[in-house]
Homo-oligomer: A and B are copies of this chain.
Amino acid sequence: MSAGGWQEWRAADAAEWLRPPTADDDKYSRGVLGVVTGSHEYPGAALLGVEAATRSGVGMVRYTGPRPVRALVLARAPEAVTTAGRVQAWLLGSGMDPARRSFVLIGELEHALASGVPVVLDAGALDLVGAHSAPTVITPHARELATLLADREVRTSVEEVRSDPAAWAARAAREIGVVVLLKGAVTHIADPDGAAITVTAPTHRLATAGSGDVLGGILGALVAASHERLANDAHALAPIAATAVLVHGLAAERAVAEVDGGPIVASDLTAQLQRVLGQLAG
C-alpha cells in the first residue's frame, strides 16, 4: 500500500479552527467538555488530560471519573467541575484498562456514547469505537491501530502499520468510519471521506509518559469549543484534530526550549498550551 496527497498541517492552517470567545459568550456557550478518564490504577492520565483541557480554551471541563481521582484533579485544576451535567463533547478512555471496567463505568461510557455529541476515544476506550454514531476521533498509536484493525478482520501488524502509517490510517478511517489520529513522530490524521493530514513532531522529546493524555485533553477541548461548527460540518473534525496535534507539538517545542534542549515531562506541555494557543490565534 502507499498513500499520496497528505497535507502537512501548519500554524497558518490551524488558526481558523480555534474558536475565540465573543462578547455574547458565557462559559456554557464556549463549550463544555465531559471527561471520563483515569482510574484507580492510572489516575495521572486524568490529571494531565483535565489540566490540558482547561487550558485549551473551553468554557468548562466536567470530570466524572473515580471519586479519589477527582480530589487529585481538583488540586491541580480547581476550575474543573466534578459533577455530571450537559456537555458538548466527550473525552473518554485515557488511563483506563478496558479489561477492568466496573458496571458504573460501563454505564457512564455508554451514556456518553449515546449522547450524540462529538467524542474523542483514547487508549482504554478505543475498543468502544463503532458502538455509536456521533462524530468521533480515535487516537491510537501503531499497536493500538493494529489491534483495532485485527478486531475488524483486517490483516496487519504493528510493523506494517509503522512502515506505512499513512496508508493504514486512511484505511482504518474508511473501515471504521471515524477520524483516525495515528500517533507517531509524524502523526497521520485521516477521515472516512479522504481527508489526509500529517503533523510532524518538532521534537523527539514528546515521546514521554503522559504525553498522549495531554493530547487527549487538548483535542477534547478544541472539539467542545467548536461544537456549533461541528454540528453543521462533520468535515471539521479532521482539521480540528490536526490542530490539536500541532498545538501539542508546539507546546513541546516551547517546553524543550525553556529547558535549554533538555528532557521534558508531560506536565511541562500543559504549562505552554495557553501561550501556544494565543500565538496561533494571532
Contacts and interface: CB of A to CB of B under 8 A. Distances in A.
A279 B262 contact: yes
A245 interface: no
Contacts of A54: 209, 265
Nearest to A212: B27
Which of A204, A256, A265 gathers the greatest number of chain B CB atoms within 10 Å?
Answer: A265
Interface in A244-274: 256, 259-268, 273-274
Nearest to A44: B78
Interface in A1-41: 20-27, 29-30, 41
A266 B78 contact: yes
A81 to B, nearest CB: 6
Nearest to A69: B74
A278 interface: yes
B81 A42 contact: yes
Given A59-B208, A185-B23, A44 B275 contact: no
Given A274-B259, A275-B259, A210 B79 contact: yes
A190 interface: no
Contacts of A277: 259, 262-263
A48 B79 CA distance: 8
Contacts of A276: 262
Is the interface on chain A under 10, 10 to 19, 20 to 34, or 35 or more residues?
35 or more
Interface in A172-226: 185, 204-205, 207-211
Given A74-B43, A204-B20, A209 B27 contact: yes
Contacts of A71: 43, 68, 72
A279 B258 CA distance: 11
Contacts of A136: none
A238 interface: no
Interface in A88-136: none
Contacts of A170: none
Contacts of A209: 27, 54, 59-61, 79-81
A148 interface: no
A77 B59 CA distance: 25
A152 interface: no
A81 B209 CA distance: 8
Interface string A233-247: 000000000000000
Contact of A42 (B56, B75, B83, B279): B83
A120 to B, nearest CB: 18
17 contacts: A23-B185, A23-B204, A25-B204, A25-B207, A27-B207, A29-B207, A42-B82, A43-B78, A47-B78, A57-B262, A68-B71, A78-B266, A79-B266, A80-B209, A81-B209, A260-B278, A262-B273
